Chain A
Amino acid sequence: MTCASAFILRREDLVPLLEELAETLEVVAPVQVEGEAAFATWRGEALALDDKNPLTSPMEFFLPQKEVLFRYVQYSGRYTFSEDPPRARLIFGMRPCDLRALKVIDGIFGADLPDIPYAGRRRSTIIVALNCTTPGEGCFCRSMGSGPGAEGGYDILLTDLGRGYLVEPGSSAGVYILRAHHRHFEEADPGDIKEKERLLALAGDEIVTRGPSLNPEKIREAIDGVDWEEAGRRCLACGGCSLVCPVCHCFSVLDQGVPDGERLRCRDTCILSGFSRMTGGANPRAALGERLRHWYLDKFVYIPEKTGLFGCVGCGRCTRVCLGEVDRWSLFKEAAE
Chain B
Amino acid sequence: MEKIATICVYCGCGCGLFLHVEDGRIVGASPSPAHPVSRGRLCVKGWLAADFVHHPDRLKTPLVRKGGRMVRGSWDEALSLTARRLKEIMEESGPDALAVLTSAKGTNEENYLLAKLARVALKTNNVDHVARLCHAPSVAGLGFALGSGAMTNPIRSLLSADAILVTGSNTTEQHPLIAAHILEAQSRGATLIVADPRRTQMAQLADIHLAPRLGTDVAWTNGILNLIIDMGLVDEDFIIERTEGFTALKDLVVQYTPAAVERITGIPPGDLKKAAVAFGEADRAAVVYAMGTTQHSCGTDNVLALANLVLATGNVGRDGTGIYPLRGHQNVQGACDMGALPSVYPGYQKVEDPAARERMEAAWGTDLPADPGLTAVEMMEAAEEGRLKGIYISGENPMISYPDRDQVMRALSSLEFLTVADIFPTETTALADVVLPVASFAEKDGTFTSTERRVQRVRRAVSPPGEARPEVEVAADLLRRLGVEADYASPEEVMAEISSVTPSYGGISYQRLGISGLSWPCPSRDHPGTEILHQGSFPIGRARFSAVEQQELAEDLDYPLLLTTGRSLFHFHTGTMTRRTHLLDRERPKAAVDINPADAAALGVRSGTMVVVESVRGGIEIEARLTEEVPMGTVYIPFHFAEAPANQLTARTLDPTSKIPCLKRTPVRIRRADS
Which residues from chain A sit less than 8 Å from chain B, CB to CB?
28, 33-36, 38-41, 55-56, 60-61, 64-67, 233-234, 236-240, 243-244, 252, 254, 256-258, 261, 266-269, 272-274, 281, 320-325
Interface centre among B16, B32, B515, B589 (most CB of A within 10 A): B32
Q: Which of A234, A254, A320, A323 contacts B43 (CB 8 A)?
A: A323
**Chain A proximity mask over B1-18: 1 for CB below 8 Å, otherwise 0:** 111010000000000101
What chain B residues lie within 8 Å of A60 (beta carbons)? 20, 28
A236 to chain B, nearest CB (A): 5
Contact A266 B582 (CB under 8 A): yes
Contact A236 B31 (CB under 8 A): no
A244 CA to B38 CA, complexed, in Å: 15
A171 CA to B201 CA, complexed, in Å: 52
Q: What are 19 of the A-B contact pairs (CB < 8 Å)?
A: A28-B1, A36-B34, A40-B1, A55-B30, A66-B26, A233-B201, A236-B172, A238-B41, A238-B46, A238-B176, A240-B42, A243-B47, A256-B55, A257-B56, A268-B583, A272-B587, A323-B41, A323-B180, A325-B183
B462 to chain A, nearest CB (A): 13
**Which residue of A has the minimal Cβ distance to B29?**
A65
A67 CA to B25 CA, complexed, in Å: 10
Contact B183 A67 (CB under 8 A): no
The answer to whether the Cβ of B569 comes within 8 Å of any Cβ in the partner chain is yes
Contact B32 A65 (CB under 8 A): no
Contact A236 B179 (CB under 8 A): yes
A236 CA to B42 CA, complexed, in Å: 10
What chain B residues lie within 8 Å of A320 (beta carbons)? 33, 40-41
Which residues from chain B sit less than 8 Å from chain A, CB to CB?
1-3, 5, 16, 18, 20, 22, 26-35, 40-44, 46-47, 51, 55-56, 172, 176-177, 179-180, 183-184, 187, 201, 204-205, 515, 569, 582-583, 586-587, 589, 608
A185 to chain B, nearest CB (A): 28
A278 to chain B, nearest CB (A): 12
Contact A65 B28 (CB under 8 A): yes
Q: A236-B176, A239-B44, A256-B55 given as contacts; is B583 within 8 A of A34 (CB)?
A: no
A28 CA to B40 CA, complexed, in Å: 21
**Once A and B bind, how many residue pairs between them come within 8 Å at the CB atom?**
126
**Which residue of A has the minimal Cβ distance to B184?**
A325
Contact A236 B43 (CB under 8 A): yes
What chain A residues lie within 8 Å of B31 (beta carbons)? 55, 240, 321
**Which residue of B has the minimal Cβ distance to A36?**
B33
Contact A66 B40 (CB under 8 A): no
Contact A33 B583 (CB under 8 A): no
Contact A325 B28 (CB under 8 A): no
Q: Which of A41, A238, A258, A272 contacts B2 (CB 8 A)?
A: A41
A37 CA to B176 CA, complexed, in Å: 25
Contact B187 A323 (CB under 8 A): no
A258 CA to B57 CA, complexed, in Å: 10
What chain A residues lie within 8 Å of B33 (beta carbons)? 35-36, 55, 320
Contact A66 B27 (CB under 8 A): yes
Contact A33 B18 (CB under 8 A): yes
**Which residue of B has the minimal Cβ distance to A33?**
B3
Q: Which of B46, B569, B583 contacts A266 (CB 8 A)?
A: B583
A40 CA to B26 CA, complexed, in Å: 13
